[in-house]
Structure 1
Amino acid sequence: MELRTLRYHAIAVAILIFIFFIISTLASNLVVPTRYTIDKTAPMYLDYAYYIDKTKTKTFDTIINQPELLTHQPFSDVPWSFSQQNYWLFLDLENKSLNKQNVVAHFDNPMVDHLTVYRLDKNNKLIETYKLGDKEEALSLFEYSVPHIRFLVERKSSQRLVIKIDTIGISKTPVNLYRDKEFIDLVRSQTGIWGIFVGVLLMAALYNLVLYFGIKDRVYLIYIGYIVSAITLMGAVLGFGFYLWPKQWQLFIHEQIVFSNYGVAFFTLAFCTMFLRYHKDKCWRYKMSIALLWLMFTLAVCSLFIPENIAAPIFFGVMVLLYITCIILIYNKLRSGFRWAKFYVLSWIPLIFGAAIQPMELTGVLPYTFATRHAFLVAILCEVILMAMALADRVRYQRERALYHATHTQQTRLLNSSKLKQAFMTLQSQNRSTTLCLIKIRHFNSLNTIITSSQGYTLIKHIAKELELELSHEREFTNLETDLNTSPRLADLSSGVFACISTKTQNQEMLEALLTKIISSLPKQYEIKGLNLQLSYSIGISSAGKSNDFEYWLKRGYLALKKAKGSVNQVGSSSNGNNLMMDVALAAKLQQAIKTNQLALYYQPQINLLSNHVSGAEALLRWPDPTYSNLSIEELIILAEHTGIINELTLWVIEQACKDIVELTKNGYNEHTISVNLSAKNLTINNLAEKVENILIKYQVPAHLLKFELTESAFVDSQDALIKLVDELTALGIKVVLDDFGTGYASLSYLVNYHFSELKIDKSFVFDLPNNPTHQVIVQTAIDMAHNLNLSITIEGVETQEIHHLLKDMNADCAQGYLYAKALPYTDYLHFLKSQYSLKMLDSSF
């Protein structure tokens, strides 16, 4: 553990010791008044007797005149019960001192209905009658909450108190006599405990309300219900409720005290179920809990209509079911690893003891003392404090869980792009080198069509484990998570793509060699239900520049992966030397350039091999602005496709090509064609053929001078739409060229389904044509096939005179390549045309 953490722990322990010191000081000042009754503090002798009138027919005179009915035993031996019967308590006082004594008789049961006190002299002559109890009117709040009477006992004299208790429900009424000073101590102690109890519980309720508004978890509302019901119950049992509610409310609560008990039990079980998240599991334990909640709710409603002496024993029986159910719920969660609920489990310890002490004291099993009288209140107080800690622990757990889900993939439990971004931003702030390394399971998306999702996730976890092991041997790959002992270096970007960050400053070749070595150690096979999947991997590398744009950095990595698809060594890289941001801002500038004609078309000539004349040219897009001069046109096209402006760009290219055709015609090149490339995204242009026709009409361009070149990517998404487009363009007289012929998977089928005018052989077959007999056969076959289908054919990538003559011998129609010219701006291209024609050097040159 870090020194700073230990220091904070020491401060926390010191604060805890200081708090316990305050509590102990407060407790020492809250005396135990029941130890200081008048018989222990003054020469006052007491004698006890009682009589239980089960018929409730005996009168005061009857009881006084029949002393043989009395049982001479201490009041602690009175067999209190919930039966409807009257209790007559006799208390004889003899003051043997030489001083008169001011006596306060305290009757510790604020819920008693009728409590009548007859004060007699030694000859049983009535001196005074007192009426107490919650059914009596015109009493003060103090007399309701602390039932008592005050009287004077002269020196060397005797008096008798006859106490009649007539109530429904809890009849036990402890009687204690105090001098004024001790009674004041009693009231002070009670008031102190009540104030602490109510204050702590109200603060806990406000705390949970704040948590609810902050987290929106209903478990906090349920706990507030528990707190309010606990305050209501204890306020009725101990008497302080008269200071919390209007008097009529409190008197009604007294009448329905069993309902309040059910309220505490109901919210206890509901909170236990919600806090332990059983409402998410919906298992048999949850159903058992719901059934018991419904039972308690039903019995609580019934308690409003049946006498308390009947409802109370039923409630105590339900309490047994409550404890059993809660123990089952808690034990199951602890067994399944719910260690974060430790404070909640501890909170049950004082609650169990306190809840057991109260009924045992009420039924006479435990003797009455100030401590036992307030045991349940103190137990609830301790439980609420521990529960506040449990709720705070739950908030911490939920925060950690939310953070975990935010930084890990749900299915594989691996770090995700959020953690990768966090590590990237940290490294950027430290001005450290950040090179993104992406490793992809090749054809993973295709594998997903034959294996289940769970099998795919298992495969990813298996490869990630092996890859993590390989990365751990190389110090240059940074840890993405520093708080865990495992210190993972790998992030899962889904779809079989993994990411790591190299922080070593090195050249591209060294990093590529290292990553190639790493993937060579990864599994090449993986068995799923008897099937041995053959695995291979691609690598994408993206180096970050001074910019701290994570999305751009990651996007370049994906572009590098895309380049690696057709790479022999399966490695692709995307350098960041130009520090150009491929983002929305750049797309906006590109769109503005389209609207203001800041773009340009460059032309690469296509040579008719039969006449050695320039028959046409391919239009290639350029952005002449020096700021973007180094921008790859391929990336520019990708940006346009991703941001939806590719169609706008394509229409601009078509229109500019038509303008240049008009200019070429004016310069005497009446049969010079211009070829424009179309991509799959252009198929989404509504009524493309009609728009092209409108452009041709607008500039009066002969349709046969305009060509459209289509690559295989345009054929994949929508066959029907493309067939329709090719037919419409052909009907207009526009020639449609099948570009990059020979590189696709089903190029021959395209010749059957589409009305092409021309084929264009990809340059990959041309570079080594003189030395590659196989390529010679392919090219010759393609030329013969095209001619047999009445199609012309153009060969691109011609860079040497040897290839030029070889193609001419093969009877190819046209050729294109650096041998003739690179792509030229329109003005330079026009000069190129004039020089070629005026000098008539084609035959001699080639």
Structure 2
Amino acid sequence: MSSREQENRYRNLFSNHPDQVYTLDFDGFITSANQATCELLSCDESGIIGHHFTEFMLEEDKPAVFHYFNRAKAGETVRYRTRALSTDGSIQHIEIINLPLTIEDKVIEVYGIAKDISQELIHAEELHLLSRSMEASANGVIIADAKKTDQPLIYVNPAFLAMTGYAKHEVIGRNCRFLQGPETDAGVVDMIRAGLRERKQVSVTILNYRKDGTIFWNDLQISPVRDDTGQVTHFIGITQDITQRIDIEQRLDYQSTHDPLTGLPNRFQFEERLVHDTDLAQQHGRAVVVLYIDLDEFKPINDSLGHEVGDQVLQLVAERIQRVIEVGDTVARFNGDEFLVLLPSLIQIDDAQIVAERILTQISQPYVVGAETLYITASIGVAANERGVDKHIDPQPHMVIRQADMAMYQAKKAGRNTIHWYSSEITEQMSERVILRRELEKAMQKGHLALHYQPIVDARTSRLIGVEALVRWNHPKRGLISPAVFIPLAEQTGQIISIGDWVLREACANISEIQRAAGHELTIAVNISPLQFARSRFIERIESVLETFHLPPKSLELEVTEGVFLEDEALAFEVLESIRNLGVRVSIDDFGTGYSSLSYLRRLPVNKIKIDRSFIREITQNTRDKAILGGIIELAHHLDLQVVAEGVETAEQAQILQQFRCDHLQGFYFARPMPFSELLNYIAAARARDAATSRAKKQENLGHSETSG
């Protein structure tokens, strides 16, 4: 090959080299540069040739580059990195190799080869940042080799090691299955394997095991990593320990379905099981039985001994009920002191009676709580969800609870500590109560309630001394509804408060006119419900009514039953004292049928007692009732209390009461309860009779005087 050909070859290699190639003279001036160099420095060859290399460098880089340049001049080949400053002001990172060019062992020029490594450095920085991020990540990061059969781990970060308790050398080269254990969900494992096999992303929550054997919940995301050809080369997994979150979720889920006090399923969990067990029972032709258990007189335990003692009793009750039931049955705390039992697999429905009786026996055993020994009983309602047994029994699962509840209510009415089975007649009774309650509300709104008044007379003279206001319900279709029907209902529903307030106001509105008609002062007695009595602003209500109608307090008499002392004895005494301080009279109604404690009677701030009609009914035949009646009257008088006998229906009864020096009498023998207009006529007639009697006596006295004269 000729020297010219060889020179051309080298020149082409110089000009077409992809990297920047240039030569420097001994002083550092550029003597040649290829096209790549021109492109790097953003200028043509004329802007480079003859220029010193330092013109294309940053000031702070020059000392280091001079050092390498001098080493090359000394005959050494050097490699280093620096930065190139283009004519347009841009800066590129470059890697330079300087070679000495020698002739006859003498360096005459320095040959330079530069390579733009800006992108390479950026990629390296990104990789470094990524590596640091993975190392510092709070989540575990693992990388598995997808090209190998068992996908062994080739990288794990510190968070993964901390999460699992393993050292790095214990996991590198192993498949991740070493984290699995006996409680790991096989279905979740199959999902992971399918994702790896199909080379697609997988996201699962899996139960894993640490090195020490403890479990942790792992939120795992696996993603495939592909090369430039689309082939999956690796799998990267991001793991997060979510054990605490799962624990919280499980606790919340447990709390949403269980009673926190007893640990029993709650109402919602019971209803879900009821629906499920009912479906199964119907498929197999079996019945589902529900027991509705309500503790008798549990409230006084809370009130007298405190809720802490009450809670311990409820926990003991729950334990005792669970002793009776079989595997597959369900006990739930329904509400307060109410429990439900679900019996889903009885061979015979009658077996529920045996279970219920065992529960009653367990509950009635004494409870030792601290220093207290307590005794309680329960009322149990039983209902069966069985098709074909009773066509009136609703097969819907939730209806069985309602039916058992209605049966329990009947058990309460039957005297408590007993068991009552549901029947269709109970539904009819309860439906009647619902209808009656709704119509009673409508009656209050539309003014269908009215007051009737029953006179009260002086036992010696039969003179009218007062009246009792009695509420009556005149139903537009049913006519007069007995107070014995709707008053107990109103007491249970709370409607008695509105009714009682209306009666008090209506009676006070009529007092003045009644007194004018009578021509003398008399009192109106108004019955007060225990619910009214316990209201916080009851005294204010009385004061307001007296002020509204400008009434002297002694014109009003409030009749309260002995039941007001059962809920809160101290409050009852306090309220009675406040009423007496107002000047309003107070009488104990139905005396002898309720509390009837003589020790309390001597301390009660009341004016009179009203002996219940049950003591009056038999006094003409029953000597024991007669003796009791005489004793009550005598005792009351010793306590400076007046006595009213209600329910007097015969002259013989009235005579006996007069002999016992009873103060006042009330009953059908004198007058029945009557509307206000009839009461005014009754009073007018009584005044006329009194006037006629008075004139006759005067005339008789006058006749005797003339005869004597």
Taking structure 1 as reference, are residues 555 and 763 closer, same or farther at Cα in structure 2, changes over 3 Å only?
farther
Structure 1 residue 784 corresponds to structure 2 residue 634: yes
Counterpart of 2:165 in structure 1: which amino acid? I
Find 2:364's aligned residue among 509, 524, 544.
524
Tell me the alpha carbon deviations over residues 136-185 of structure 1, each in whole angstroms, 9 at most, x when there is no partner: 3xx4xxx67889xxxxxxxxxxxxxxxxxxxxxxxxxxxxxxxxxxxxxx
Find 1:635's aligned residue among 458, 466, 489.
489
| CA positional deviation for 1:837 | 9.3
1:437 touches 1:502 (CA, 8 Å); kept in 2?
no
| CA positional deviation for 1:493 | 1.5
Structure 1 residue 752 corresponds to structure 2 residue 603: yes
Find 2:328's aligned residue among 470, 486, 489.
486
Find 2:301's aligned residue among 433, 443, 446.
446
Counterpart of 1:455 in structure 2: which amino acid? Q
Structure 1 residue 455 corresponds to structure 2 residue 312: yes
Give the aligned partner of residue 694 of structure 1.
Answer: 547
| CA positional deviation for 1:619 | 1.7
Find 1:345's aligned residue among 208, 212, 230.
208
Aligned runs of 1:461-500 on 2, under 5 Å? 461-466=318-323, 469=325, 486-488=328-330, 490-494=332-336, 496-499=337-340
Q: In 2, Cα distance between the equivalents of 1:557 and 1:118?
A: 100
Q: In 2, Cα distance between the equivalents of 1:664 and 1:603?
A: 11
1:438 touches 1:561 (CA, 8 Å); kept in 2?
no
Structure 1 residue 324 corresponds to structure 2 residue 165: yes
Q: In 2, Cα distance between the equivalents of 1:427 and 1:603?
A: 58
Tell me the alpha carbon deviations over residues 568-607 of structure 1, each in whole angstroms, 9 at most, x when there is no partner: 7678999413253698x889756644xxx44311334445
Counterpart of 2:136 in structure 1: which amino acid? G
| CA positional deviation for 1:676 | 0.4
Tell me the alpha carbon deviations over residues 300-337 of structure 1, each in whole angstroms, 9 at most, x when there is no partner: xxxxxxxxxxxxxxx9889765642899xxxxx99999
Identity of aligned residues (%): 17
1:545 touches 1:579 (CA, 8 Å); kept in 2?
no
SS of the residue 2:661 aligns to = coil
Tell me the alpha carbon deviations over residues 337-368 of structure 1, each in whole angstroms, 9 at most, x when there is no partner: 9989971428999x9x999xxxxxxxxxxxxx
Q: In 2, Cα distance between the equivalents of 1:655 and 1:354?
A: 75
Taking structure 1 as reference, are residues 435 and 794 closer, same or farther at Cα in structure 2, changes over 3 Å only?
farther
Bigger share in strand: 2
1:759 touches 1:791 (CA, 8 Å); kept in 2?
yes
2:180 touches 2:209 (CA, 8 Å); kept in 1?
no
Q: In 1, Cα distance between the equivalents of 2:553 and 2:370?
A: 60
Give the aligned partner of residue 222 of structure 1.
Answer: none
Taking structure 1 as reference, are residues 665 and 258 closer, same or farther at Cα in structure 2, changes over 3 Å only?
same
2:457 touches 2:464 (CA, 8 Å); kept in 1?
yes
Taking structure 1 as reference, are residues 457 and 534 closer, same or farther at Cα in structure 2, changes over 3 Å only?
closer
| CA positional deviation for 1:813 | 2.9
Taking structure 1 as reference, are residues 803 and 571 closer, same or farther at Cα in structure 2, changes over 3 Å only?
farther
Bigger share in helix: 1
Aligned runs of 1:111-122 on 2, under 5 Å? none
Taking structure 1 as reference, are residues 707 and 258 closer, same or farther at Cα in structure 2, changes over 3 Å only?
same
Tell me the alpha carbon deviations over residues 183-215 of structure 1, each in whole angstroms, 9 at most, x when there is no partner: xxxxxxxxxxxxxxxxxxxxxxxxxxxxxxxxx
Give the aligned partner of residue 34 of structure 2.
Answer: none
Give the aligned partner of residue 536 of structure 1.
Answer: 376
Larger radius of gyration: 2
Structure 1 residue 413 corresponds to structure 2 residue 413: no
Gaps of 5+ in 2: 1-66, 82-92, 100-109, 142-155, 169-178, 189-203, 279-286, 345-349, 384-391, 421-425, 691-709
SS of the residue 2:432 aligns to = coil
Give the aligned partner of residue 49 of structure 1.
Answer: none
Higher relative contact order (CA 8 A, sep 6+): 1
Taking structure 1 as reference, are residues 818 and 768 closer, same or farther at Cα in structure 2, changes over 3 Å only?
same
Taking structure 1 as reference, are residues 702 and 718 closer, same or farther at Cα in structure 2, changes over 3 Å only?
closer
Counterpart of 2:115 in structure 1: which amino acid? K
Counterpart of 1:524 in structure 2: which amino acid? S
Q: In 2, Cα distance between the equivalents of 1:518 and 1:670?
A: 66
| CA positional deviation for 1:459 | 0.7
1:605 touches 1:823 (CA, 8 Å); kept in 2?
yes
Aligned runs of 1:591-610 on 2, under 5 Å? 592-593=445-446, 597-606=447-456, 608-610=458-460
Q: In 2, Cα distance between the equivalents of 1:511 and 1:764?
A: 43
SS of the residue 1:656 aligns to = helix
1:117 touches 1:130 (CA, 8 Å); kept in 2?
yes
Give the aligned partner of residue 115 of structure 2.
Answer: 131
Taking structure 1 as reference, are residues 599 and 116 closer, same or farther at Cα in structure 2, changes over 3 Å only?
farther
Taking structure 1 as reference, are residues 608 and 534 closer, same or farther at Cα in structure 2, changes over 3 Å only?
same
1:601 touches 1:620 (CA, 8 Å); kept in 2?
yes
Taking structure 1 as reference, are residues 117 and 781 closer, same or farther at Cα in structure 2, changes over 3 Å only?
farther
Q: Please report the TM-score for the alignment, with normalisation by the length of structure 1.
A: 0.45
Give the aligned partner of residue 623 of structure 1.
Answer: 473
Taking structure 1 as reference, are residues 748 and 801 closer, same or farther at Cα in structure 2, changes over 3 Å only?
farther
| CA positional deviation for 1:60 | 14
Give the aligned partner of residue 134 of structure 2.
Answer: 261
2:610 touches 2:645 (CA, 8 Å); kept in 1?
yes
2:468 touches 2:524 (CA, 8 Å); kept in 1?
yes
Structure 1 residue 737 corresponds to structure 2 residue 587: yes
Taking structure 1 as reference, are residues 515 and 607 closer, same or farther at Cα in structure 2, changes over 3 Å only?
farther
Taking structure 1 as reference, are residues 441 and 649 closer, same or farther at Cα in structure 2, changes over 3 Å only?
closer
Taking structure 1 as reference, are residues 513 and 413 closer, same or farther at Cα in structure 2, changes over 3 Å only?
closer
Q: In 1, Cα distance between the equivalents of 2:644 and 2:602?
A: 16
Tell me the C-alpha RMSD between the 2 structures. 6.6
| CA positional deviation for 1:413 | 2.1
Q: In 2, Cα distance between the equivalents of 1:319 and 1:436?
A: 53
2:517 touches 2:683 (CA, 8 Å); kept in 1?
no
Structure 1 residue 680 corresponds to structure 2 residue 543: no
Q: In 1, Cα distance between the equivalents of 2:657 and 2:487?
A: 29
Tell me the alpha carbon deviations over residues 667-713 of structure 1, each in whole angstroms, 9 at most, x when there is no partner: 5474654210233235514634532432442xxx6654432113345
1:739 touches 1:762 (CA, 8 Å); kept in 2?
yes
Q: In 1, Cα distance between the equivalents of 2:354 and 2:464?
A: 48
Aligned runs of 1:418-433 on 2, under 5 Å? 418=268
Taking structure 1 as reference, are residues 466 and 565 closer, same or farther at Cα in structure 2, changes over 3 Å only?
farther
Q: Please report the TM-score for the alignment, with normalisation by the length of structure 2.
A: 0.53
Aligned runs of 1:345-424 on 2, under 5 Å? 345=208, 378-380=235-237, 383=238, 402=252, 404-418=254-268
Taking structure 1 as reference, are residues 414 and 788 closer, same or farther at Cα in structure 2, changes over 3 Å only?
same
Find 1:578's aligned residue among 432, 442, 446.
432
SS of the residue 2:595 aligns to = coil
Taking structure 1 as reference, are residues 664 and 416 closer, same or farther at Cα in structure 2, changes over 3 Å only?
same
| CA positional deviation for 1:461 | 1.7
Counterpart of 2:560 in structure 1: which amino acid? L
Tell me the alpha carbon deviations over residues 24-57 of structure 1, each in whole angstroms, 9 at most, x when there is no partner: xxxxxxxxxxxxxxxxxxxxxxxxxxxxxxxxx9
2:333 touches 2:339 (CA, 8 Å); kept in 1?
yes
